[in-house]
């Protein structure tokens, strides 16, 4: 019996220490809060790293976008800088089709004479451009007689024009030499594609003391005639890839600055690795402590503890910190590879670093929870989250119903309903009260039935979601806030864990004491009880 009491005393001491905040742990056992110090250090370092990478990434993205815009002006005849809704340029006559093709070839030939950028031709055997055309194998159409014969098999013909040939001939002379290829039977033509590669050097990175990047631009000009409606759409696509620059030399300290940034990234990795190890260790110790408590409780009281008490030991903040550390470590390694010009995955790296920084800043909320006023807001968010998620599932069913209905009915008559993604964005903006009049006004009144349906559709959606769904959404959060305020005044529902720490011999599970309705709140926040009498404040 004495052995059991001694074991119980040690277990209670360990439990009380585990649920203390970092300051209390330091006062009790002089344990330095390394995890807290690392999190503060991580916020500064990860944010600094993100800002440095963001400035570099902005230069990369701006160079790619500006180069693509320059290429459109260089190679698309009559391009004014304004694309249609789907990002295309259009031609409507046979003369415009031929002029646009030969204009692109001529501009490619005279690139060094007309271009303002640091771009040049690719070297190698495949230097030059390639023109491909796709058309139906056989096609015979007589619109006047409402008759046609078509073989849907598609044929592809390509012509590779060497740069040396371009330099020695005019494009129209080339069309005479290759008259068979450049004779386009437009009634069976599907598309024409002109592809070529260009190389460029981004010198603006030196403004932030980084090495310049060398790029290869894979450009394609596509004449799309799949609809055969008399309107040929021109698409310009440019994919840029970074490669190692050869035989370069830069005067100054740019290379030295790059070494400093790589050293800083290495220090960030070590800091996150230390945080990862400490948080993983804390979770392992918490699981062991949970097993000790479960086994002792069963041995002493001959029953298992409640599931809410088991979850008290699982600290969700540590899990979030571990995820953030892993993303930061991987993102930092990718950033170092990008800085060393061994990798070009800017988007993946920015996604990892951005998400990890978000999680690091969100993790600060845990430490704000030690203050009473901030704690109310945090507990309200935690308590209302399950209710809000269940409510969103129900409201989402109605929302998706409106999305599919609006797309199939209004899609042909309204540009905001042309595809499912655009419909979802349009309806979400209506829920927030944005762009309402424009959505009503832009419906094309070609069908009276569709126009009337659009009015019923929009009025019913706006009324349902703004006046009912949003109001109920706010009520759920308000109800959780009032519940938390009441618990802070009158005390949170007790669980087996709390009663055990108080030393009560008669322990009743919350499920058996008529508090089943409060389990969702107890599960998250029962550790926050007002100080007084012999209450224990459990902080995990």
pLDDT average, residue stretch 181-200 = 87
Residue 6 is encoded by which pair of tokens? 């001694």
To the nearest whole number, what is the mean pLDDT of the chain?
Answer: 81
Placement of tokens 């295309």 in the chain? 88
Cβ atoms 119, 134 nearer than 8 A: no
Please check the confidence at residue 98 and state whether its pLDDT lies above 70.
yes
Tens of pLDDT along 202-253? 888 777 667 778 888 999 999 999 888 888 999 999 998 887 777 766 665 5
Position 513 scores a pLDDT of: 42
**Rounded percentage of the chain residues whose pLDDT exceeds 70:** 83
Please check the confidence at residue 508 and state whether its pLDDT lies above 70.
no
CA atoms within 13 A on the CB side of 258: 19
Tens of pLDDT along 266-295? 999 999 999 999 999 988 988 888 888 788
Contacts of 98-102 with CB under 8 Å at 24 or more apart are 98/182, 98/184, 100/76, 100/223, 100/234, 101/131, 101/182, 101/192, 101/194, 101/223, 102/171, 102/172, 102/175
**Rounded percentage of the chain residues whose pLDDT exceeds 90:** 28
Please check the confidence at residue 531 and state whether its pLDDT lies above 60.
no
The model carries a pTM of 0.75
Tens of pLDDT along 3-35? 666 777 777 777 777 777 777 776 777 777 788
Residue 255 is encoded by which pair of tokens? 């290379």
Count how many residues are written for the chain. Answer: 540
> Quick one: which of 157, 154, 205 has its CA closest to 178?
157
Domain spans, the chain? 2-58+254-368, 76-243, 372-490
Calpha distance 423→416 (Å, rounded)? 6
Placement of tokens 């309107």 in the chain? 231
pLDDT average, residue stretch 523-533 = 39
Res. 2 pLDDT band, cuts 50 70 90: low
Position 512 scores a pLDDT of: 44
Cβ atoms 424, 451 nearer than 8 A: no
Calpha distance 282→101 (Å, rounded)? 66
Q: Which stretch of 343-357, 358-372, 473-487 has the lowest confidence by average pLDDT?
A: 358-372
Q: Which stretch of 157-161, 432-436, 503-507, 512-516 has the lowest confidence by average pLDDT?
A: 512-516
Q: DSSP secondary-structure letter at 393?
A: H
Position 3 scores a pLDDT of: 67
C-alpha separations of 352 from 195, 334, 340 in Å = 33, 9, 18
Res. 255 pLDDT band, cuts 50 70 90: low
Chain-centre distance for alpha carbon 88:
26
Calpha distance 351→357 (Å, rounded)? 10
Position 188 scores a pLDDT of: 84
Tens of pLDDT along 72-86? 999 998 888 776 665
Please check the confidence at residue 525 and state whether its pLDDT lies above 70.
no
Tens of pLDDT along 40-74? 899 999 999 999 888 888 888 888 899 999 999 99
């Amino acid at each position: 019996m004495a052995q059991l009491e001694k074991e119980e005393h040690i277990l209670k001491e360990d439990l009380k220490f585990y649920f203390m905040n970092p300051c209390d742990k330091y006062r009790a056992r002089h344990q330095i809060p390394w995890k807290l110090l690392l999190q503060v250090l991580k916020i500064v370092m990860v944010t600094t790293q993100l800002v440095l990478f963001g400035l570099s990434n902005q230069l990369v993205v701006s160079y790619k976008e500006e180069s693509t815009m320059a290429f459109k002006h260089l190679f698309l005849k009559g391009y004014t800088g304004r694309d249609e809704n789907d990002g295309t340029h259009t031609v409507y006559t046979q003369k415009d089709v031929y002029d646009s093709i030969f204009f692109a070839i001529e501009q490619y030939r005279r690139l060094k004479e007309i271009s303002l950028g640091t771009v040049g031709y690719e070297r190698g055997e495949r230097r030059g451009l390639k023109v491909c055309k796709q058309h139906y194998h056989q096609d015979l159409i007589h619109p006047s007689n409402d008759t046609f014969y078509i073989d849907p098999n598609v044929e592809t013909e390509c012509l590779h024009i060497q740069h040396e040939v371009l330099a020695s001939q005019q494009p129209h002379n080339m069309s005479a030499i290759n008259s068979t290829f450049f004779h386009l039977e437009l009634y069976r033509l599907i598309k024409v594609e002109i592809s070529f590669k260009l190389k460029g050097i981004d010198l603006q990175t030196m403004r932030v003391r980084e090495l310049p990047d060398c790029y290869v631009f894979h450009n394609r000009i596509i004449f799309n005639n799949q609809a055969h409606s008399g309107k040929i759409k021109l698409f310009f696509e440019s994919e840029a890839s970074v490669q190692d620059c050869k035989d370069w030399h830069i005067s100054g300290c740019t290379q030295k600055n790059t070494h400093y940034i790589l050293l800083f990234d290495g220090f960030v990795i070590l800091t996150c690795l230390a945080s990862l190890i400490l948080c993983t260790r804390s979770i392992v110790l918490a699981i062991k402590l949970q097993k000790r408590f479960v086994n002792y409780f069963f041995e002493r009281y001959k029953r298992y503890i409640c599931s809410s008490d088991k979850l008290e030991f699982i600290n969700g903040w540590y899990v979030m910190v571990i995820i953030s550390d892993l993303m930061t470590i991987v993102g930092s390694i990718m950033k170092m590879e990008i800085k060393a010009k061994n990798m070009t995955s800017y988007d993946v790296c920015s996604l990892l670093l951005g998400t990890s920084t978000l999680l690091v800043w969100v993790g600060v909320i845990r430490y704000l929870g030690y203050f009473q006023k901030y704690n109310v807001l945090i507990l309200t968010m935690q308590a209302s989250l399950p209710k809000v998620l269940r409510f969103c599932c129900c409201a989402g069913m109605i929302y998706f119903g409106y999305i599919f209905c609006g797309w199939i009915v209004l899609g042909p008559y309204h540009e905001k309903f042309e595809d499912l993604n655009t419909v979802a964005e349009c309806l979400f903006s209506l829920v927030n009260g944005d762009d309402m009049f424009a959505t009503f006004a832009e419906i094309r009144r070609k069908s009276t039935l569709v126009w009337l349906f659009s009015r019923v559709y929009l009025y019913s959606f706006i009324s349902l979601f703004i006046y009912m769904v949003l109001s109920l959404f706010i009520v759920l959060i308000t109800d959780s806030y009032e519940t938390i305020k009441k618990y802070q005044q009158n005390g949170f529902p007790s669980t087996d864990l709390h009663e055990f720490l108080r030393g009560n011999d008669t322990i009743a599970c919350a499920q058996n004491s008529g508090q089943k309705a409060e389990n969702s709140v107890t599960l998250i926040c029962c550790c926050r009880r007002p100080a007084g009498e012999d209450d224990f404040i459990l902080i995990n």
